[in-house]
Amino acid sequence: MTRHLRWRLVVATLTAPVLLGGLAYAAEAGAPDKPKTADVAAWAGSHASLDLDKTLGELEKSYEGRVGAVGIDLETGRTVGYRADERFPFNSMFKVFACAAVLRKARTSEPGLMDKVVRWKPADMAELTTNSPETTEYTDTGMTPAQLCRAGITKSDGFAGNTLLQQIGGPRGLTRFFRSTGDRTSRLDRPEPHLTEWKPGDVRDTTTPAAAARTFTKLTTGTTLHPRDRARLVGWLKASLTGTARIRAGLPKNWTVGDKTGTGGARNYGTADDIAIAWPPGSDTPLILSVFTNRDRPMAHDDKVIASTATALAKALGRV
């Protein structure tokens, strides 16, 4: 079987609603007996899961918080994870999914939408002037959804994210988009900056590492988006400027990475996350990595925890 065909088969599998739901993310206590024949690969995978559980469990203790993560190797079909089905807040990560929803709307029901100028008044930005580095420069001229996507993904521009939501029916519109992709877990309830106001137990504006990874895989490598729109979305992810200290920092420097971050702030239990598509050198089939963190009490997040988790995922997948 060729590598290209194997990748296509893996992606097709990832689009099934049962993806990840039936996989065991936490290895059972104790190491499995060493196999004698063709089960060597499965045995090695079990040990990798045990190592991942141990590594991230120790990381949580030193961090005084919680880590949720999923890694998918599209070349081999292997998936690893930790707290994969627990809820964490989206924060600004939602912007990559909002951009995907706008791209699909422009392709399927509103031709020309991506190049239509959207205008606003300075007062519309009152709550987001400190978190909107690019849109504040375009108040007089407005921006197209394509420009807003670039600003939202590459600079995590808050007002850009809210303006994109307006194109698809607000937070509920994004939730409907999730459902249309088969994602029954992810939800958005509020716009910026309110969606970052999270505390343990709050289900608003949340996803799980497994659901986020599954949907992100469909958007960046599957058939949910038109190939041109998919390439455009991945291009914005590769150009992101906000994640240099997170997943990118945990992978070898010669990898090609595209990512979208999210940060809730110290008073919101230090929530921080990152989701990425990453290509090892010489490979045309990527890995998908999703990492979410929060602290046990209101305090600052730590990018190094996300970077270390990315390293652990790549090791568990046998890529580093």
The residues assigned a catalytic role are 92, 192
CA–CA separation, 294 vs 292, rounded Å? 7
Q: Name the helix (H) or strand (E) containing 215.
A: helix 209-221
CB 261 within 8 A of CB 246: yes
Q: H helices within 64-157, ranges in order? A: 94-108, 145-154
Residue whose C-alpha is closest to residue 148's, from 120, 171, 127, 173: 120
Compute CA distances 298 → 1, 56, 90, 315, whole Å.
51, 21, 17, 31
Q: What angle do CA 230, 236, 239 make, to 5 degrees?
A: 140
